[in-house]
Amino acid sequence: QLQLQESGSGLVKPSQTLSLTCAVSGGSISSGGYSWSWIRQPPGKGLEWIGYIYHSGSTYYNPSLKSRVTISVDRSKNQFSLKLSSVTAADTAVYYCAREGSMAVFDYWGQGTLVTVSS
């Protein structure tokens, strides 16, 4: 059974960089046909797709965040990462990692990690 687990700093100061990692177990992140996404959810609000990295290493980002986002993969550790720079309070959210399966929908999710932006 595929499992995803987010980790990283839960508190980030304004203007700094948010960094999160998603460890994948029960399957290889290099398996063809899948992409690996970050999605966030501000407290009490809806879901926003941040971007993904394809198994080949190609990345696609939400244009609203593109200038601040970097998603990368570490195949040796079977994990992928998110960096979001110049954060503000508006970036406070639960951040989820998820797999986009062969049907182009999010079929496996991590449990989510709350990141708070505050001084």
Partner 1 sequence: EIVMTQSPATLSVSPGERATLSCRASQSVSSNLAWYQQKPGQAPRLLIYGASTRATGIPARFSGSGSGTEFTLTISSLQSEDFAVYYCQQYNNWPPLYTFGQGTKLEIK
Applying CB under 8 A, the span of 10-18, 60-68, 70-78, 83-91 interacting with partner 1 comes to 60-68
- The single residue among 43, 104, 118, 119 that binds partner 1, judged by CB under 8 A, is 104
Written as six digits, the tokens of 84 are: 């979001």
Rg (CA), the chain: 13
Does residue number 52 form part of the binding site for partner 1 (CB under 8 A)? yes
* N residues, the chain: 119
Residue (of 117, 71, 77, 116) closest to 98 by Cα position = 71
Contacts with partner 1, residue ranges (CB under 8 A): 45-49, 52, 60, 62-63, 96, 98, 103-107, 109-112
